[in-house]
Amino acid sequence: MVAIYGTVEMGGTKTSCAVGSSPEDLSREMTIPTTDPRETLGRVIDHLAIGSLAAVGIASFGPLELRPGHPEYGNIRFTPKEDWSGVDVVGPFQAAFDVPVGLDTDVNGAALGEREWGAGRGLGSFVYVTVGTGIGGGAVVEGQPIHGLGHPEMGHISVRRHPDDDYPGSCPAHGDCLEGLANGPAVEGRHDAPGSELGGDELDRALAIEAFYLTQLVRDLVYTLAPERVILGGGVSLMPGLVERVGAGLAAELAGYPGLVEHEQGFVVPPGLGRLSGLAGGLILADVAFRSSG
């Protein structure tokens, strides 16, 4: 009998959940705004309470405490998302369902989904980058996402400024780090409208600035992690032509070093699972938790 899991993808703006065993059989999908913790977690738990679940997997925004033996395991650490710092995102699900609960970052979850069913299939190393309310990256090395003292925070690297960009930056911690200059709020801050509503010259300028910053991130990933592919997802990545611009600009950023032809075409790609990457990753997290508990 196939185990049925609950899967949750929690982002800074919206939270999605579903039940199933693979992306092909997801059911009871629901997406709600990420409001305060009590309302958001309560609505998700109520929605998933439809029968016997073998486990639940949560791919959440962070930063998260992911060290299993740590007394604050499962908690969100400092976050600019109001009311969410210090919130336990694992405990309420364990209390409600009394089943194993798997947890990782939203980007690591999406990376796991892409590894199993999407653009990362068959690769030993790749990075999934999301560009939305925040910017983050999940790095898969030898088939597994990287963990350490914490987890990677790729959105907070420093980048050189676009010469025509005077936007001060939206990151409450660093101001004009990559996230502060290239996340969704930064696009809207420059243009008084989200990227999905831009057109004409305004869209072209927004794309040029976004690609300028994101290409620097991809360059740094090439030099620090040597991935076989970079998958670029998130709501901002849906701006028309952005993924292609980042890929096309990489050669100039690399400036001939290390000179691999693989970096020239097909290195930066959209998610193979589209909007389902995170929910698919939640299924993987649930499955690992379920098998580990037995």
The per-residue pLDDT for 45 is 98
Residue 114 covered by a domain: no
Q: Does residue 129 or residue 12 have the better pLDDT? A: 129
Q: What is the mean pLDDT of residues 59-87?
A: 94
Does one domain contain both 56 and 165? no
Q: What is the mean pLDDT of residues 10-36?
A: 96
Does one domain contain both 17 and 90? yes
Residue 82 covered by a domain: yes
Decide: helix, strand or coil at residue 7. Answer: strand
Q: What percent of the chain has pLDDT over 70?
A: 99
pLDDT tens-digit readout, 187-244: 999 999 999 999 999 999 999 999 999 999 999 999 999 999 999 999 999 999 999 9
CATH number at residue 216: 3.30.420.40
Which residue from 176, 208, 174 is spatially nearest to 191, judged by alpha carbons?
208
Does one domain contain both 90 and 20? yes
Q: How far apart are CA 174 and CA 188, in angstroms?
A: 19
Q: What is the mean pLDDT of residues 66-76?
A: 95
Which DSSP string corresponds to 16-62? EEEEESSGGG-EEEEEEE---HHHHHHHHHHHH-SS--SEEEEEE-S
Q: Does residue 50 or residue 48 have the better pLDDT? A: 48
The pLDDT mean for the chain works out to 96
What is the number of structural domains in the chain?
2
Judge whether residue 28 has pLDDT over 80: yes
Burial of 143 from C-beta contacts in 10 A (0-12 / 13-18 / 19+): exposed
Q: What percent of the chain has pLDDT over 90?
A: 92
| pLDDT grade for 148, boundaries at 50, 70 and 90 | confident
> By the 8 A CB rule, do 276 and 23 touch?
yes
Does one domain contain both 251 and 160? yes
The structure's pTM equals 0.95
The per-residue pLDDT for 50 is 81
Does one domain contain both 100 and 188? no
Which residue from 289, 270, 286 is spatially nearest to 114, judged by alpha carbons?
270
Does one domain contain both 105 and 65? yes
The per-residue pLDDT for 11 is 93
Residue 128 covered by a domain: yes
Does one domain contain both 145 and 220? yes
The parent domain of residue 23 ranges over 5-109+274-293
Residue 100 covered by a domain: yes
The per-residue pLDDT for 136 is 95
The per-residue pLDDT for 1 is 61
Does one domain contain both 187 and 238? yes
Does one domain contain both 156 and 199? yes
> By the 8 A CB rule, do 4 and 54 touch?
yes
Does one domain contain both 64 and 145? no
Which residue from 169, 263, 259, 275 is spatially nearest to 213, judged by alpha carbons?
169
The per-residue pLDDT for 80 is 84
Residue 72 covered by a domain: yes
Judge whether residue 24 has pLDDT over 90: yes
Which residue from 154, 130, 142, 117 is spatially nearest to 59, judged by alpha carbons?
130
pLDDT tens-digit readout, 254-274: 999 999 999 999 999 999 999
Does one domain contain both 159 and 186? yes
Q: What is the mean pLDDT of residues 64-79?
A: 94
Judge whether residue 135 has pLDDT over 90: yes
| pLDDT grade for 84, boundaries at 50, 70 and 90 | very high
Residue 116 covered by a domain: no
Does one domain contain both 190 and 131? yes
Residue 115 covered by a domain: no
